[in-house]
Amino acid sequence: MTFQRADLEKQVLDSPKEVKWCTRCVVSNQRPRIIFNDDGVCSGCLNTDYKNNNVDWDERERELVDLLNHHRRNDGHWDVIVPSSGGKDSSYVAHQLRYKYGMNPLTVTWSPLKYTDIGRKNLQASIDSGFSNILSTPNGILQRKLARLCLEELGDAFHVFVLGQISFPFHMAAKLGVKLVFYGENGEAEYGGDPEYLDKPYKPSSEWLNQHFKGISFKELLEYGIKNKSYISEEDYADSDLMFYEPPSSDQLEKAGILGKHFFSYYKKWIPQENYYYVVENCGFKPNPERNEGTYSKYSSLDDMMDGFHYYLRYIKFGLGRCMEDAAHEIRDGHLTREEGIALMERYEGDFPKKYFQEFLEYLDITEDHFWDIVDSWRAPHLWEKINREWVFKHPIK
């Protein structure tokens, strides 16, 4: 029987029916909220032009120092929270804040669904470079059921991780009286979202629902699951288990004096490859011994066995996978030509993440047939057609 789902995830329905690829990089107009100009150039590339030509980075650094001076404490208490996986970007931010700008950061970590060895080691290495860290690991039974619910109804098991990854640091900030929460890059500006974010140093909580939570609150999602899924019930959790899947309310944040997610990429020019060299040098960071499936890189998103499926499902939904993510940024940063990017896309984009497939099925407690039924339920007809019983992507980059 084919899997039937509700349409809780609206972005997929909104994507343009005619596929266009950026003439300068390797992203298409299927990316939610991306904008193309009349010359067919995407907002990710135009944002890079803006960063290269229009932003006064010395002035931005002065703004950073002002902000940090405003929050800096002399009583020995933490004065900034850095949500950190121990990956290259968050380790870079925490290390810069502490050692270059003299702040006293606390790093907080929301556990991946299933840690890889290299992910655990990099988190420990980051802690060993001079940070206190709070790691939160959610109720394992609930987390797995929520991951399955998120895969079935939002096309992304990893979404359950995103909920906690964004919400948990703000609970810690409010509880510990820390008003500044620093993230690495602003995805909207760096990866080709809405250009209006280029000149915004932080993102208030009112924008998280649509930009991070796929337009559905955790409560609505859970209620939907309890009503419609036999595998999840109120027996699986106590109310306290749910606390960190939702951010504090905007009232609570306001009372705590917390503006939102601050972005280091607003203040300092964001070049992922350079962050990588920095953390290898300063934070004991180690890349994967082999390339990540679905791309050519070895240094980003290494800590979760499950996140390959996040990129794979995005490839099914939007025709944009993990290789695109790496190559588009490196083309904009001048590390690759578009032709080299296309060659990498032809080789790696959309590769199935088979290495951890069994772990993924076991984690979610689903069969392989059910997995493929779910995947097929997310194939947009304008992107996919079946030829000789094989699904073929209709608009590869050229």
Alpha-carbon distance of 160 to 181, in angstroms, equals 21
Instruction: Identify which of residues 127 and 327 has a Cβ nearer to Zn ion in the complex.
Output: 327
Instruction: Identify which of residues 45 and 232 has a Cβ nearer to Zn ion in the complex.
Output: 45
Q: How many residues bind Zn ion (CB under 5 A)?
A: 6
Which residues have CB under 8 Å from 208's CB, separation 6+? 166, 247, 261
Instruction: Identify which of residues 42 and 324 has a Cβ nearer to Zn ion in the complex.
Output: 42
CB 158 within 8 Å of CB 112: no
CB 156 within 8 Å of CB 310: yes
Instruction: Identify which of residues 24 and 329 has a Cβ nearer to Zn ion in the complex.
Output: 24
Instruction: Identify which of residues 44 and 138 has a Cβ nearer to Zn ion in the complex.
Output: 44
Alpha-carbon distance of 337 to 331, in angstroms, equals 6
70 HSE (CA, 13 A, CB side): 9
Instruction: Identify which of residues 43 and 165 has a Cβ nearer to Zn ion in the complex.
Output: 43
Q: Residue 25 interacts with Zn ion (CB under 5 A)?
A: yes
**Least Å distance between CB 194 and Zn ion?**
14
Q: Which of 306, 315, 387, 390 is nearest to 348 (CA)?
A: 315
248 HSE (CA, 13 A, CB side): 21
**Least Å distance between CB 212 and Zn ion?**
22
Instruction: Identify which of residues 108 and 320 has a Cβ nearer to Zn ion in the complex.
Output: 320
Choices 35-43, 88-96, 171-179, 279-287 (CB under 5 A): range interacting with Zn ion = 35-43
**Least Å distance between CB 44 and Zn ion?**
5
Using CB under 5 A, pick the residue from 19, 42, 222, 302 that binds Zn ion. 42
Choices 14-22, 227-235, 242-250, 370-378 (CB under 5 A): range interacting with Zn ion = 14-22
Residue 280's identity, in one-letter code, is V
Q: Region of 356 please: left (phi>0), alpha (psi -120 to 50) or beta.
A: alpha
Choices 22-30, 156-164, 294-302, 375-383 (CB under 5 A): range interacting with Zn ion = 22-30
**Least Å distance between CB 26 and Zn ion?**
8
Between 140-154 and 159-176, two packed helices, what is the crossing angle to 10 degrees? 130
Using CB under 5 A, pick the residue from 24, 51, 144, 148 that binds Zn ion. 24
Which residues have CB under 8 Å from 205's CB, separation 6+? 170, 247, 248, 250, 253, 260
CB 193 within 8 Å of CB 34: yes
CB 150 within 8 Å of CB 124: no
User: In this structure, what is the dihedral angle of CA atoms 334, 339, 340, 346, given to the nearest 10 degrees?
Assistant: 140
Q: Residue 45 interacts with Zn ion (CB under 5 A)?
A: yes
Of residues 303 through 322, those in contact with Zn ion by CB under 5 A are: none
Of residues 54 through 73, those in contact with Zn ion by CB under 5 A are: none
Choices 20-28, 212-220, 249-257, 293-301 (CB under 5 A): range interacting with Zn ion = 20-28
Q: Residue 174 interacts with Zn ion (CB under 5 A)?
A: no
Q: Residue 222 interacts with Zn ion (CB under 5 A)?
A: no
Question: Dihedral sign, CA of 94, 95, 101, 102?
Answer: positive
**Least Å distance between CB 395 and Zn ion?**
16
**Least Å distance between CB 94 and Zn ion?**
30
Which residues have CB under 8 Å from 38's CB, separation 6+? none
Instruction: Identify which of residues 25 and 142 has a Cβ nearer to Zn ion in the complex.
Output: 25
Q: Residue 22 interacts with Zn ion (CB under 5 A)?
A: yes
9 HSE (CA, 13 A, CB side): 26
Choices 39-47, 54-62, 275-283, 338-346 (CB under 5 A): range interacting with Zn ion = 39-47
Choices 36-44, 95-103, 112-120, 259-267 (CB under 5 A): range interacting with Zn ion = 36-44
**Least Å distance between CB 333 and Zn ion?**
12
Contact residues: Zn ion, CB under 5 A: 22, 24-25, 42, 44-45
